Amino acid sequence: MENDEAMFGGDFGGPGPEDFANGAAALAAGLIREAQALAQAAAALRATGNPNPPGVAAAEPISDVRRLRMVLHTAGEAALRAALALDAAALLAENRSPQEHAIRIADAAKRVGLPAGTLAPLLRSAALDFRTDDAAARIAASTLAADLCALLSQES
């Protein structure tokens, strides 16, 4: 066993720094995909609230003001979450520790008026939607996402 470690360099303990950099990049790409989906949902909801673009024949508007208000509020929330996901993706591109990332993401969440934990489901989804076969980077991304989720829940 001791000779095996000497032969292979003993570097089989887990993902290394390059794997964590690749994992963070993959998480950022996943967050961008999540932001795109949220932005599309926000646009679709907004279009529901205002179905008549200029030059288009009148469609049936939402007649109940309460429903219209809910639709527009939901569209706004989706847009804010998309903006937060894009901000977090940009922050993940920086070479920082999970604690520093969590602090900066929590600050970004405060700026848009959302709890820091709002990003946790998006991070978990991004870690699951991993689009490479690099197992070490996948492990690093999952580890980073789990660490960030735990830290963001403390920040909320």
Q: What is the pLDDT of residues 56-89, one digit of tens each?
A: 555 555 567 788 888 899 999 999 999 999 999 9
The position carrying tokens 């804010």 is 80
- Please write the tens of the pLDDT for every residue from 116-145: 999 999 999 999 988 888 899 999 999 999
Give how far the C-alpha of residue 151 lies from the chain's centroid of Cα atoms, to the nearest Å. 15
pLDDT band of residue 95 (cuts 50, 70, 90) is confident
First-to-last alpha carbon distance for the chain, in angstroms, is 46
pLDDT at 152: 94
Quote the pTM value.
0.81
Residue 41 lies in a domain: yes
Residue 74 lies in a domain: yes
pLDDT at 7: 45
Residue 4 lies in a domain: no
Domain that holds residue 39: 17-51+62-155
- Residue 18 and residue 110 in contact, taking contact as beta carbons nearer than 8 Å: no
E strand map for the chain: none
pLDDT at 54: 55
Residue 2 lies in a domain: no
Q: Tell me how far CA of residue 155 lies from CA of 26, 87, 95, 110, in angstroms.
A: 24, 17, 21, 10
Residue 132 lies in a domain: yes
Residue 43 predicted with pLDDT over 50: yes
Residue 39 lies in a domain: yes
- Residue 136 and residue 24 in contact, taking contact as beta carbons nearer than 8 Å: no
Kindly state the average pLDDT of the residues 98-114. 93
Q: Indicate the Cα dihedral angle 93, 95, 100, 104, nearest 10°.
A: -30
- Please write the tens of the pLDDT for every residue from 5-37: 454 455 566 788 999 999 999 999 999 999 999
